[in-house]
């Protein structure tokens, strides 16, 4: 069978920690033919189906080059998405206009018979920071607004807060403002652009010092180990991209409670793979575009996350 990964450029992969890479590796181990493209290559024309330029690759088992391209197929070969057993959407945020358009093309491919994971409509309907609003029983005090006065009011009410843009990833653009309000005005101006941009502000959760936990949920079921991403030095962000230290640990009772409530709901909507972010007892994000931490959890715990994911993919295709 043929699998197509819609991903970032293959040459940009850091194979030491890339989750898409280990998905490919496990799929190849099972005998799948691996194809890749970028979202910019998707195309639809009246009278034809959604198609894309593809690269058929095989993993070499080496650090560099980590893949070899099938010259017989050629980089410019164009194949309809419906001709693959499955299409796996793994393009990283930001969720900008081009990502939005890509989900519409992928949804058209579904109408033509393609099987896309995660489902395009579900990707659109679950923006990663705003998706938590559906589950207020699990989140810390939170405000979402474009009104700079409301942002300042919330800070005065809560005392110690985190402000973040809605379209960031990897911890980019996240600020903490403590009770003294130092630089609050400047930070609000930077993120909010005088009312032009919507901002999320949440009460600071001090348990961040123990880690921002990534809970992977596959087909509605939580992986039994989480990755606590622990801030280093004077940093408040635990994101691995911001220098956080990743430590795998067994899932806690509270983390399992959150995952077992949310997971089945999202799975029914077509989200085969979800990454929940939890600090202390509070849910902070629901990641659906390209959840990561497969390798870190597998290497430290022995639980093969990629194998569990491909098992779930095969079950969904059966």
**Residues annotated as catalytic (active site), given as ranges:** 129, 164, 214, 229, 237, 277, 285, 287
Phi-psi category of 195—alpha, beta or left, where left has phi over 0 and alpha has psi -120 to 50?
left
Per-residue b or e along 92-109, where b marks 16 or more CB atoms closer than 10 Å to that residue's CB: ebebeeebeebbebbbbb
CB 294, CB 22: distance < 8 Å = yes
Structure tokens at 131: 């998706």
Alpha carbon distance 208, 116 (integer Å): 35
Choose among 83, 102, 80: nearest CA to 91.
102
Alpha carbon distance 209, 301 (integer Å): 21
Structural Rg of the chain based on CA atoms: 20
Strand spans (E) along the chain: 2-7, 33-37, 42-43, 51-59, 67-69, 77-80, 86-90, 116-117, 142-145, 161-165, 175-177, 199-203, 212-218, 221-222, 225-230, 245-250, 273-279, 282-287
> Tokens 């653009």 identify what position?
173
Alpha carbon distance 76, 59 (integer Å): 20
Question: What are the two backbone dihedrals, phi and then psi, of residue 309, each rounded to the nearest 5 degrees?
Answer: -65, -45
């Amino acid at each position: 069978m043929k699998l197509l990964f819609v991903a970032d450029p293959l040459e940009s992969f850091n194979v030491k920690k890339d989750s898409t890479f280990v998905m490919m590796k496990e799929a190849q181990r099972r005998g799948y033919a691996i194809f890749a493209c970028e979202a910019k290559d998707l195309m639809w024309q009246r009278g034809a189906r959604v198609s894309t330029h593809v690269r058929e690759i095989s993993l070499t088992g080496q650090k560099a080059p980590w893949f070899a391209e099938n010259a017989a197929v050629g980089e410019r070969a164009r194949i309809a998405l419906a001709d693959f057993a499955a299409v796996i959407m793994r393009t990283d945020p930001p969720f900008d206009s081009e990502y939005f358009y890509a989900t519409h093309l992928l949804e058209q491919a579904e109408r033509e018979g393609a099987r896309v994971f995660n489902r395009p409509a579900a990707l659109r309907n679950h923006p990663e920071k705003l998706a938590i609003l559906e589950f207020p029983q699990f989140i810390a005090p939170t405000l979402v607004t474009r009104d700079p006065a409301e942002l300042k009011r919330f800070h005065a009410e809560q005392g110690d807060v985190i402000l973040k843009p809605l379209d960031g990833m990897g911890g980019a653009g996240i600020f903490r403002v403590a009770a003294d309000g130092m630089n609050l005005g400047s930070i609000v101006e930077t993120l909010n652009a005088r009312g032009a941009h919507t901002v999320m502000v949440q009460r600071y959760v001090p348990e961040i010092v123990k880690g921002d936990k990534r809970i992977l949920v596959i087909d509605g079921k939580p992986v039994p180990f989480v990755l606590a991403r622990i801030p280093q030095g004077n940093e408040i962000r635990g994101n691995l991209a911001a220098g956080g230290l990743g430590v795998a640990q067994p899932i806690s009772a509270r983390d399992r409670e959150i995952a077992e409530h949310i997971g089945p709901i999202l799975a029914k909507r077509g989200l085969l793979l979800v990454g929940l972010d939890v600090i202390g007892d509070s849910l902070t994000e629901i990641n659906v575009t390209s959840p990561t931490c497969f390798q870190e959890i597998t290497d430290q715990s022995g639980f093969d996350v990629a194998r569990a994911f491909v098992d779930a993919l095969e079950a969904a295709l059966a």
